[in-house]
Amino acid sequence: MEYRDSQTRHYDEGQIYFVTCNVKDWAPFFKEKIFCELFVAELKLAQELKEFELYGFCLNYSHFHLLIKPNQEHDLSKIMQFLKRNFSRCANFILGYNNDELKQYVEMLKVSESDNNYCRFQKPQRLQKTQENYKKEFQEFNKKLLNLHHQFIQKHSNRNIPKFHWQKSFRDHVIRDRKDFENHHQYAMYNFLKHNLPQDWPYTSLNYPAMITLEIMW
C-alpha cells in the first residue's frame, strides 16, 4: 500500500480514504478494554458531529485503520484532528491526568440553557435534532467517560501508567477504484487477524453495523 505522510495535505471532495494512525512508539495501549470502549465512543461522536461516511474500521493494540469519506464541510484533516485530540484528552482523564482540562472540555460540550443557538460542536438544523437531544447525548457521553474512569481506577489503582499520546501525523491512501476499495474494505475489517488478536476481537466494524455505510456508488 502507498500512503501520503505529509504534514501539508490537499484533499479533494468526494474521495474515500484509507487511514492509519499509530499510538506513539507503537505502545500497545489498546490491550486495555477500557480504552477500546472509549475509542469506539469517540469514533461514534466524531461520525455524528463531522458527518462522514464510514465504510470500515479496525482497532488493534497499537493503531487503528479507518475507511471513510469526508463531507464537504469537514475534510480528513479536521476529522482526524477532532478524533485524535478528543480521544487523548479523555484517555488521559481516565488515567488520572488533565482533570482540570477535561472539566473545561466537558463544559464546552454543554448547551447553554439561556442561549437558543447551537454549541460549537452541534450541527445545523438539517439534522433535525433539538438542543435537548444534543444535551442528552453529551450527558450520556460524559457519564460513560466517568464510568470508564472509575473502572480504570478500580482495576489499576496501584499502577503508574504514562500519559497517552498519538504519533503526530497519520497516513492516508486515496481509494482509486472499486477493486482498491474492496481490498481496503477487507483489510480494514479483518486486520486484527493479521496481528494475531483473538478470533472474536470485538473492535472492528464487523461488530458495529449501525455505524457503517452499506452502499457505495462509483
Could you tell me the CATH number of the domain that includes residue 182?
Answer: 3.30.70.1290
pTM (2 d.p.): 0.78
pLDDT at 3: 41
pLDDT at 116: 39
**Mean pLDDT of the 108-135 span:** 48
Beginning with the edge strand found earlier in the chain, give each strand of the sheet holding 63-69 in spatial order. Answer: 53-59, 63-69, 17-22, 171-174
Alpha carbons 40 and 46: distance in angstroms, whole number: 10
Domain that holds residue 183: 17-97+162-211
Say if 217 falls within a structural domain: no
pLDDT at 185: 95
Residue range 24-43, pLDDT digits in tens: 999 999 998 989 999 999 99
**Mean pLDDT of the 61-79 span:** 95
User: Which grid coordinates are listed for 135?
Assistant: 444535551
Say if 42 falls within a structural domain: yes
Alpha carbons 180 and 14: distance in angstroms, whole number: 16
The percent of residues above 90 in pLDDT, for the chain, comes to: 52
**Mean pLDDT of the 142-146 span:** 74
* Cα-based distances in Å from 87 to 23, 28, 42, 128, 209: 11, 16, 6, 27, 22
Say if 62 falls within a structural domain: yes
Structural domain total, the chain: 1
Say if 126 falls within a structural domain: no
Alpha carbons 157 and 115: distance in angstroms, whole number: 41
* Cα-based distances in Å from 70 to 103, 108, 141, 193: 29, 24, 23, 27
The confidence band for 61, taking pLDDT boundaries of 50, 70 and 90, is: very high
Say if 142 falls within a structural domain: no
Say if 202 falls within a structural domain: yes
Query: What residues contact residue 211 under an 8 Å CB cut-off, 6+ apart?
Result: 43, 44, 47, 54, 205
Say if 8 falls within a structural domain: no
Say if 76 falls within a structural domain: yes
Residue range 168-183, pLDDT digits in tens: 999 999 999 999 999 9
Cα-flanking dihedrals φ and ψ of residue 164, to 5°? -85, 140
Residue 139 DSSP label? H
